[in-house]
Amino acid sequence: MIIRVTRKDIERGRRGSPYSCPLALALERQFPGRGYLVSDELVHDGDGAIVWWLGKAARRWVARFDSGGPADVQPRALLVYSPEST
């Protein structure tokens, strides 16, 4: 599945925050009401269940944001995989 991270998600995102990183904000915008936690490789929902695995580019993008902040990343579409597809 493709998740679109916007400039607004990036500007509102907080570095090192699994609940408030741009990807978590984009997920909440696109699939509201569940709350999401983004870790190094996985996305969990508010109940702690694994919802998606991060694709390689998504993992690099999140790491780049966490290490440098909004100026180091651009809006883009990131690929996530359902646990059933791995």
The pTM score is 0.88
CB 83 within 8 Å of CB 28: no
Give the number of domains in the chain: 1
Q: What pLDDT, in 10s, does the model give residues 54-64?
A: 999 999 999 99
The residue segments making up the domain with residue 22 are 2-85
Q: What pLDDT, in 10s, does the model give residues 33-44?
A: 889 999 989 999
Q: Is the dihedral of CA 30, 33, 34, 38 positive or negative?
A: positive
Query: What are the start-end ranges of the E strands in the chain?
Result: 2-5, 36-38, 42-45, 50-54, 76-81
C-alpha to C-alpha distance for 7 and 22, rounded to whole angstroms: 9
